[in-house]
């Protein structure tokens, strides 16, 4: 057979095969209607299988965050036929105008891809909807889980979930319109660990919207992967107690384990119930919280920047001792002509200066640090002294953001040479310009987390660990590694001296924090009063206990409340006692603190001052 003959045979074979396919298709589509009936009555639906988000536990295994089932009503626009919008509106509880708008939005997105029509319907409500949903072609229910907060505490630390925006969908291919993502707190920081991995299920659905089974027995389905659980260092009882004690007050409590850097409690006040930002009412409640004049969404523990007040005197003591400009026995008279002070005996040692919190004493200490005669020009000499002083401050973790597993923490401010050159001009300032730094006022600012870190540093006699709230991921025994230890530029030998001074603040007559005493436990602490031009001064207290083997370090900041020993010290004391003993031996003090509304008191004080000024 020559080439031309073979060519005609091949062409004939191809034509024959094509004819067979054409005839078969004609038979299936025109003569035999069984396949058209099946196509009309059965369609394929892609169902997203959302994974359960990882749970969050406290240090003793108690749930802080859990999941509860909810349902989204989905719509596939091309499948919608003969829609009774009035009946659908009544069934789901959506206004008529919204029904039409949402359907149009779904069509704009895609006519054949499913869109969320109504989201996050609680299981009990969905049960009454599901029995009628088959009457609405193109609509079906899809399950997912929603956060719930059994303890109703730690809203700022935990964060919340919110729907992803268009920008996030563009940036990260994992997310799709209608997905949720962690916002704030550990929900945001550990989003990848918590979210898990979604799966897909291909289902066959009949004309009545009923599932008829899996497409090809689930051959193409993919399994979802649950999110990893988080095991935090938070002590639920201390956290809850702290929030109750801070009710009616502005401020924060930060408690750490000095030996590890683990966060025991992280309280911001005013706060809110985390359940407010769950489900279909989230947006309404969020706007309500945004408009609240007390700003409950603001995380004071991590973002509020304050003058440290007198707690800063401890750091000044340590750096001056290290520099050799004072000795443990150095004494100064309480000369109120230099800077104002309360009445107390003259301090004849560093320990007494800390005990009495003498302002003129630390004025003289700071003067010696800044003016060390390293240059005959007093302005240049001050610049040299301040630059060295700032290096010490940075070694204590001040003036920089803490390396923390929570977003949005601020780092306070430690002013240096460049700062004052810009403010006053180069070689135009000296100690007399910046002396307010000596007592923790002026341009130095810290956040409460840094104050607690200072307490940890004093407890550890010279070092601290990066604070962190999550101790294990996936399993309680899979402890996090790589927590960095930071050592200050001050020799450890000076810290015992400071610890003794802090002990006297709490335990000895003349100390400013006698209300911080705990029966049977030696507490080391330091009060502070930070000036507030708008009203009453802010109260500060830092402490650690027990003195001999510190297990907790704490910082309490109470705005507009006056001296630190009145409110901040007893709040810290009760939280420490709860952690160390699992009980409170002074319920009458706890009751007094819980029932005191300093916010209302401050409002009345401001009104009184305003009326007085108008006169």
Give the CATH number, domain containing residue 212: 3.90.1310.10
As a whole number, mean pLDDT of residues 408-424 equals 93
Task: Indicate whether 217 and 297 sit together in one domain.
Answer: no
Residue 37 within any structural domain of the chain: no
How many C-beta atoms lie closer than 10 Å to residue 210's C-beta?
Answer: 10
For 188-203, the pLDDT digits (tens) are: 999 999 998 887 777 6
Is residue 42 helix, strand or coil? strand
Residue 413 banded pLDDT, cuts 50, 70, 90: very high
Mean pLDDT of 549-574: 91
Task: Determine, yes or no, domain membership for 34.
Answer: no
Structural domain contains residue 219: yes
Q: Tell me the CA distances in angstroms from 291 to 287, 297, 299, one per residue in order.
A: 6, 10, 16
In a domain, residue 567? The reply is yes
**What's the CA gap between 569 and 541, in Å, rounded?**
6
Residues 320 and 452 in one domain: yes
The predicted structure's pLDDT at residue 37? 40
Residue 345 domain-assigned (yes or no): yes
In a domain, 32, yes or no: no
- Calculate what percentage of the chain has a pLDDT beyond 90: 59
Which among 206, 232, 258 is the end of a domain?
A: 232
Domain that holds residue 134: 52-78+101-232
CA proximity to 512, closest of 349, 366, 344, 362? 344
Pair 273, 217 in one domain:
no
Q: Are residues 376 and 347 in the same domain?
A: yes
Quick: pLDDT tens for 359-380. Answer: 999 999 999 999 999 989 999 9
291-294 LR contacts (CB < 8 Å, sep 24+): 294/250, 294/270, 294/599
For residue 122, the model assigns a pLDDT of 86
Helix axes 85-92, 96-109, angle to 10 degrees: 100
Single pTM value for the model: 0.84
Where among 164, 198, 232 does a domain terminate? 232
Is the model's pLDDT at 132 over the cut of 80? yes
What is the CATH number for 585?
A: 3.40.710.10
Whether residue 33 is predicted with pLDDT greater than 50 in this model: the reply is: no
Q: How confident is the model at residue 28 (pLDDT cuts 50, 70, 90)?
A: very low
Query: Could you tell me how far CA 591 lies from the centroid of its own chain?
Result: 28
Number of domains in the chain: 2
Find out whether the peptide bond into 77 is cis, omega within 30 degrees of 0: no
- List the alpha helices (DSSP H) in 274-311: 282-291, 300-303
Q: Which residues lie below 8 Å from residue 328, measured CB to CB, with a gap of 6+?
A: 321, 349, 350, 351, 497
Q: Which residues pair with 202 in a beta bridge?
A: 46
Residue 241 has pLDDT above 50, yes or no: yes
Same domain, 430 and 508: yes
Mean pLDDT (whole number) for 516-541: 86
Q: Which residues contact 142 (CB under 8 A, 6 or more apart)?
A: 47, 48, 71, 72, 73, 74, 114
Q: Whole-angstrom Cα distance, residue 191 to residue 307?
A: 34
Q: Domain check: are 152 and 300 in the same one?
A: no
Both tokens of residue 56?
């969050």
Distance CA 502, CA 496 (A): 10
Same domain, 211 and 277: no
Domain annotation covers residue 498: yes
Please count the residues of the chain.
Answer: 615
Taken in order 511, 516, 521, 522, is the CA torsion positive or negative? negative
DSSP 318-380: HHHHHHTSS-TT--B---TTTS---S-PPB-SHHHHHHHT-HHHHHHHHHHHH---SSSSHHH
Query: What integer best gives the mean pLDDT of the chain?
Result: 87
Dist. CA 509–CA 506, nearest whole Å: 8
**Co-location of 177 and 302 in the same domain:** no
Asked if 178 and 260 sit in the same domain, the reply is: no
Does residue 313 share a domain with residue 180? no
Distance between CA atoms of 21 and 263, rounded to whole angstroms?
72
pLDDT at 40: 40
Q: Name the pLDDT band for 391 (thresholds 50, 70, 90).
A: very high
Highest mean pLDDT among 32-41, 177-186, 514-523: 514-523
Q: For residues 423 and 428, what is the distance between their CA atoms, to the nearest angstrom? A: 9
Closest residue by Cα to residue 541 from 504, 511, 572: 572
- Secondary structure class of 225 (helix, strand, coil): strand
Residue 270: is the preceding peptide bond cis (ω within 30°)?
yes
- 320 vs 494: CA distance, rounded Å: 10
Q: How far apart are CA 194 and CA 400, in angstroms?
A: 28
Q: Which residues, listed in sequence order, are joined to residue 203 by a DSSP beta bridge? A: 45, 214
Give me the mean pLDDT over the 495-504 stretch: 93
Q: Flag whether 515 is in a domain.
A: yes
Asked if residue 191 and residue 73 are part of one domain, the reply reads yes
Nearest alpha-carbon partner for 43 in 275, 164, 206: 206
Query: Per-residue b/e over 79-100, b at no fewer than 16 CB within 10 Å?
Result: bbeebeeeebbebbebeeeebe
One domain, residues 226 and 245 = no
**HSE of 62, CA atoms in CB hemisphere, 13 A:** 15
Q: Where are the alpha helices (DSSP H) in 435-480?
A: 448-459
Reported as a single tens digit per residue, the pLDDT across 434-487 is 999 999 988 999 999 999 999 999 999 999 999 999 999 999 988 888 899 999
Among 232, 250, 272, identify where a domain stops.
232
Please name which of 560, 554, 596 lies closest in space to residue 575, comparing C-alpha atoms: 554
Q: First-to-last CA distance in the chain?
A: 123
CA distances from 389 to 392, 417, 495, 582 (A): 5, 10, 18, 41
């Amino acid at each position: 057979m020559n080439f031309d003959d073979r060519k005609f045979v091949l062409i004939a074979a191809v034509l024959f095969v094509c004819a067979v396919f054409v005839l078969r298709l004609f038979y299936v589509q025109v003569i035999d209607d069984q396949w058209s009936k099946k196509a009309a009555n059965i369609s394929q639906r892609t169902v997203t299988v959302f994974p359960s988000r990882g749970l969050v536990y406290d240090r003793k295994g108690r749930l802080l965050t859990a999941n509860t089932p909810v349902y989204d009503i989905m719509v596939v626009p091309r499948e919608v036929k003969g829609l009774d919008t009035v009946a659908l509106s009544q069934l789901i509880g959506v206004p008529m105008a919204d029904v039409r708008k949402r359907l149009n939005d779904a069509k704009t997105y895609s006519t054949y891809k499913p869109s969320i029509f109504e989201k996050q319907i609680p299981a009990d409500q969905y049960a009454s909807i599901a029995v009628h949903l088959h009457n609405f072609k193109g609509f079906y229910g899809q399950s997912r889980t929603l956060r719930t907060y059994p303890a109703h505490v730690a809203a700022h630390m935990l964060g919340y979930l919110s729907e992803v925006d268009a920008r996030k969908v563009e940036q990260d291919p994992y997310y799709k319109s209608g997905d949720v993502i962690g916002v704030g707190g550990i929900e945001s920081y550990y989003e990848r660990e918590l979210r898990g991995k979604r799966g897909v299920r291909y289902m066959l659905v009949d004309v009545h919207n009923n599932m008829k089974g899996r497409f090809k027995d689930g051959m193409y389905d993919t399994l979802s992967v649950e999110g990893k659980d988080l095991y935090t260092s938070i002590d639920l009882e201390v956290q809850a107690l702290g929030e109750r004690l801070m009710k009616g007050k502005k401020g924060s409590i930060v408690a750490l384990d000095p030996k590890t850097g683990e966060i025991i409690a992280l309280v911001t006040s005013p706060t809110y119930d985390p359940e407010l930002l769950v489900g279909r009412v989230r947006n309404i409640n969020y706007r309500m919280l945004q408009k609240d004049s007390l700003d409950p969404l603001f995380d004071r523990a991590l973002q509020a920047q304050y003058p440290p007040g007198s707690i800063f005197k401890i750091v000044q003591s340590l750096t001056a001792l290290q520099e050799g400009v004072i000795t443990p026995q150095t004494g100064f008279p309480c000369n109120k002509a230099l800077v104002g002070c309360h009445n107390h005996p003259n301090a004849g040692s560093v320990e007494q200066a800390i005990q009495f919190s003498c302002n003129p004493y630390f004025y003289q200490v700071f003067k010696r640090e800044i003016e060390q005669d390293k240059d005959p020009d007093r302005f240049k000499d001050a610049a040299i002294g301040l630059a060295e002083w700032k290096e010490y401050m940075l070694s204590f973790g001040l003036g920089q953001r803490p390396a923390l597993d929570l977003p949005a923490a601020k780092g306070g401010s430690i002013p240096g040479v460049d700062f004052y050159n810009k403010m006053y001009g180069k070689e135009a300032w000296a100690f007399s310009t910046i002396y307010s730094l000596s007592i923790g006022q002026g341009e130095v600012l810290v956040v409460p987390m840094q104050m607690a870190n200072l307490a940890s540093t004093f407890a550890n006699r010279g070092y601290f660990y990066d604070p962190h709230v999550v101790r294990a991921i996936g399993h309680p025994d899979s402890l996090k590694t790589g927590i960095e230890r930071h050592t200050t530029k001050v020799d450890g030998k000076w810290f015992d001296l400071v610890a003794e001074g802090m002990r006297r603040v709490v335990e000895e007559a003349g100390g400013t924090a006698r209300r911080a005493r705990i029966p049977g436990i030696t507490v080391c602490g330091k009060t502070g009063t930070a000036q507030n031009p708008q009203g009453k001064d802010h109260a500060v207290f830092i402490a650690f206990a027990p003195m001999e083997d510190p297990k907790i370090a704490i910082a309490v900041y109470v705005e507009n409340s006056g001296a630190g020993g009145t409110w901040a010290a007893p709040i810290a004391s009760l939280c420490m006692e709860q952690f160390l003993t699992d009980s409170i031996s002074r319920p009458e003090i706890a009751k007094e603190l819980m029932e005191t509304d300093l916010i209302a008191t401050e409002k009345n004080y401001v009104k009184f001052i305003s009326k007085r000024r108008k006169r």
